[in-house]
Amino acid sequence: QVTLWLKKIYGNQPIPQYEVNATTVDILYDLAECNEARDRDVSLLIEDMKQKATEYEAEANYLQGLLAESLDLSLSSLSSEGTSYLNVLVNSAMTLETKDTSLASFFSAINDMTSELYATESKNREMELELTNIRKKLTAALMLEKQLEEDLKKTEEFLEVEKAKADSRSQNLKFLKDKSEDLKIRIKAAEEQLAATGLDQSLTHESLVSLSE
């Protein structure tokens, strides 16, 4: 079956050499099945199109005969203006996808298209409103972001100033601590020196203050 399919595909041309084994035969068999199924589908489609063409041709001949019998009109006897009107009528029917060119079909198709147009316009208005709301929210978000950036900048500047103040206070505190330690050492040395000279403790500033009180 695979060999017959390959001969059908290549016709008078030689079939290319390939390794014959279970795998290649299975693959070629699947391809043959798909190809034949597609050919059947295409054949059915062609037959359907031929059938429709025959029906359209019969309907066209019927309508042409009807015009000729009842109105004594034919496409060749129409004026250029009449042909133009007829083309407009046909194009309108094809655009509106009506089943025929009757007024009922035109009115129905126009009503459907009008309803669809109204629905589309309503949807567009909703989308425009939603887009407007999104733009407002985006503008508010951008303004908030800008305000936050400004606040952050002010906060950073404030922290820099406070850091400088803290550094200055830290340096002053260190100076005061060092000065206090120096004074303590000098006081102790002075007290030791006074004690060495035999100073009476009742004559110290603290004793005199207590005596005065």
Q: For the CA atoms of 31, 35, 36, 41, what is the dihedral angle to 10 degrees?
A: 140
pTM: 0.35
The SS3 of residue 204 is coil
DSSP state of 203: G
Tens digit of pLDDT per residue, the chain (213 long)?
Answer: 888 888 887 888 888 887 888 888 888 888 888 988 898 899 999 999 999 999 888 888 887 777 677 666 666 666 788 778 878 888 888 888 887 777 888 888 888 889 989 999 999 999 999 999 999 999 999 999 999 999 999 999 999 999 999 999 999 999 999 999 999 898 888 878 877 776 666 667 777 888 888
Q: How many helices (H) and strands (E) does the chain have?
A: 5, 0
10 Å CB burial of residue 170 (0-12, 13-18, 19+) is: exposed
Per-residue model confidence (pLDDT) at position 28:
87
Give the residue extent of every domain in the chain: 1-72, 157-211
Residue pLDDT, tens place only, 164-185: 999 999 999 999 999 999 998 9
